[in-house]
Amino acid sequence: MKSFKERLENEIIVFDGGTGTYLYDKGVFINRCFEELNEANPELVTEVHRDYINAGADVIETNTFGANRYRLAAQGLESKVYDFNFKGAQLAKSVAPKSVFVAGAIGPLGVPIEPFGKISYDEAKDAFAEQVKGLLNGGVDIIVFETFSMIEEIVQGVRAVRELNVEIPIIAQVTINREGGLLSGETLERCHET
């Protein structure tokens, strides 16, 4: 099988749809911790993955978007960071044929980091590292950072990945506003330079 990078250079690669959105459509309310379903209802999570694979996805993302210590703390689940990420990766790998890549999904921490908040760059990097360890040990093929609105936060996430694995492909996505910049006020030019 070709590597992700080889396929990306020569093919159009189709990703799955939103895992959280699909779980909501299947009756999981938004006040529930979707990442907890990796342990509480793994059958539902794998059903979502299978549906996306059957629809033609070349890449499925783990159910781990918000599985970091800060977001999980809101549900009293901050001690489950590694477990939810590891299990999320294993569930996706368990249903993915060899032709489908599994991407470890990582979203923003959900708390402001410096200079806008009290979380230091190192604390942010450490929080991402907790999540990344579970994803890597669970067997993901790619890491995907999604919907980030601050360049430095995504930089800390990438640093965490590279300190743990220098080879795994990383996809870093930002959310832009109508003016074509990041929600933090930073420009796409600065994002590209970084």
> Tens of pLDDT along 125-147?
999 999 999 999 999 999 999 99
Greater pLDDT, 89 or 151? 89
Contacts of 135 (CB under 8 A, 6+ apart): 62, 64, 85, 86, 88, 89, 104, 106, 143
- CATH fold, domain 4-193, is TIM Barrel (3.20.20)
Q: Which amino acid is at 100?
A: V
User: In what order do the strands lie in the sheet containing 170-174?
Assistant: 59-61, 101-106, 142-148, 170-174
DSSP-based three-state secondary structure for 68: coil
Return the domain boundaries, the chain.
4-193
Q: Quick one: average pLDDT of 69-83?
A: 98
Q: What is the pLDDT of residue 88?
A: 99
Give the separation between CA 66 and CA 120, rounded to whole angstroms.
19
∠ CA 133-139-141 to the nearest 5 degrees? 100
